[in-house]
Chain A
Amino acid sequence: MSPAASAEGPPRINPPMTHYTEEMNRLKESLLAMASHAESALTRAMRALTERDDPLAQSVIDDDNIIDQFEVEIDDIAIHLLAKAPVATDLRLTTAAMKISQNLERIGDSAVTIARRAIDLGTEPQLKPYIDLPRMATMSLEMLRDSITAFINREPDKARAVVPRDVEVDNLNRQLHRELSSFMVERPASITRCLNLMVISKCLERIADHATNIAEDVVYLYEAIDIRHSGQKNLEDKDPGS
């Protein structure tokens, strides 16, 4: 037994706050703020659709630049951190943050598309009661929330549980496409509205994909395991709309 070992003891792992750790914290905080903006954009876009609220839809479109700015800011912080050559957990956090922010930005873009289509749909009478779309939105939103909660609370298992839920949203999207296709055949006058609804359905399906990507990044962040593309996805099963 070395006398040095007992005298010095194990290394302290929690250092005093440094500029570097401050920057790491700023990265996390920006990511959380961005996630809450993306979540809010989606919630408002869906409310604008179901309540036919054009000003609310417009606010989603107008606020998109906030989310875009966050993406730029997070990349900027991450690149500065990468120049300092982070390793281990810090390295995984930095690269995961860049990927998560890109997914959040795309969720924001999808929310804008939904808002635009909601404004279009508002100019015509409602085609049918919205049931599947709000369900899809709720599911996608929950997936996003769980991914972000898993990120905050360091819960890779919670993130892992998000991944299979993507299939449910895909199925709803497919079902809705079939339903809207038959609607268009029966009532050609409804084609514009059906196409708008199809786009919204597709956007929600994409948002669930982005939430899944974020969940996968969170698993990588905390467990250093890359779970992307590990599931047996049946590509033949996919229809053109999904």
Chain B
Amino acid sequence: MSTLPEAAQAAPASEPIRITSSAPGPAPAGALPVEAGEIAFDIKNFSLWYGPRQALQDVSISIPAKKVTAIIGPSGCGKSTFLRALNRMHELTPGTRIEGSLRHFGADLYGPGVEAVAIRRRVGMVFQKSNPFPTMSIAENVLVGLRLNGVRDKAVLQRRLEESLHMAALWDEVKDHLHRPGTSLSGGQQQRLCIARSLAVQPETLLMDEPCSALDPIATAKIEELIQTLREAYTVVIVTHNMQQAARCSDRTAFFYLGRLIEYDDTRKMFTNPSNAQTEAYVSGRFG
């Protein structure tokens, strides 16, 4: 059962187990209507250290709501760390320290008394490697977050199951065998199952850490298509190594290098006419 610890750590939906009292019910407090044009994340002078090593340096960035924002940069540039800081997932690594402010729809994510687990329900995360719970069926995988939140109403669960699978563009493929194990699905389907699991708890924002890096082009195309659909209801922040993927499916792109935000602009501009020579070198593959 080697994948279980990783899956348990990774799945945002699994976190609320410790806060079942905070916001039970089919429509969590986080799922407020979001206006387009709003700022989802307002981040100012944000720095992050792993022990003595500084991973993010003085990052200031405004991530718009209901848009797809891509984070790009070479390995070790801090992009995954940045993504994890957006739902305090980095706190799972001991010895981390932050400075600066990080607000999600106006609320200070690092304010006193703010529970990381509550944040992770509002800010869901999808990982590079799909991580369905191996002992659970497809349906149980999707509903685990809601169940852990204390939702017992079968009609509600059934509705959320269908909605989430529809939203993740997986319904048609799995509707006739919802009770098979989640791990019986293909890689691309498993990744969409994880997306459905994240969506079931109705987050406002979805973070994706290289969600297609382990998938073939067809499965990748499906996930990218899904990202386009999700942007109508969610704020999506995606970390990707694939420049074309960033160009294809994001509205805004941020380029990180050595822990700093080098350039942040409309994706169109970043890929046709970046302002910074380092960005141009990186997106053109002339880096290193």
Contacts and interface: CB of A to CB of B under 8 A. Distances in A.
B282 A224 contact: no
A235 interface: no
What range describes how many residues of A lie at the interface?
20 to 34
Contacts of B281: 11-13
Contacts of B21: none
Nearest to B271: A87
Given A11-B257, A13-B277, A224-B273, A88 B284 contact: yes
Interface residues of B, number: 26
A88 B272 contact: yes
Interface in B95-139: none
Contacts of A13: 277, 280-281, 286-287
A4 interface: yes
Contacts of A15: 286, 288
B54 A87 contact: no
Contact of B273 (A4, A14, A92): A92
A15 B284 CA distance: 11
Nearest to B248: A85
Nearest to A84: B285
B249 to A, nearest CB: 14
A4 B258 contact: yes
A117 B281 CA distance: 51
Given A11-B287, A12-B288, A90-B284, A224 B259 contact: no
Contacts of A5: 258-260
B273 A88 contact: yes
B190 to A, nearest CB: 27
Contacts of B148: none
Nearest to B247: A87
B72 to A, nearest CB: 11
B62 to A, nearest CB: 23
A89 interface: yes
A4 B282 CA distance: 18
B23 interface: no
A88 B259 contact: no
A2 B243 CA distance: 26
Interface string B240-278: 000110010000000001111000000000011110011
B20 interface: no
Given A4-B259, A5-B258, A85-B244, A11 B274 contact: no
Contacts of A90: 284
B45 to A, nearest CB: 15
B282 A11 contact: yes
B195 interface: no
B283 A87 contact: yes
Given A2-B54, A224-B272, A87 B243 contact: yes
A126 B244 CA distance: 61
A2 B259 contact: yes
Contacts of B285: 20
B57 interface: yes
A18 to B, nearest CB: 9
A86 interface: yes
The 3 A-B residue pairs with the shortest CB-CB distance in the complex, in nearest-first order:
A224-B273, A13-B281, A87-B271
29 contacts: A2-B54, A2-B258, A2-B259, A4-B258, A4-B259, A5-B258, A5-B260, A10-B278, A11-B281, A11-B288, A12-B281, A12-B287, A13-B280, A13-B281, A13-B286, A13-B287, A14-B286, A85-B244, A87-B243, A87-B284, A88-B271, A88-B274, A88-B279, A88-B280, A89-B284, A90-B284, A91-B271, A92-B272, A92-B273
Given A2-B259, A11-B278, A87-B271, 9 more contacts: A5-B258, A5-B259, A8-B258, A11-B281, A11-B282, A11-B287, A13-B277, A91-B271, A224-B273
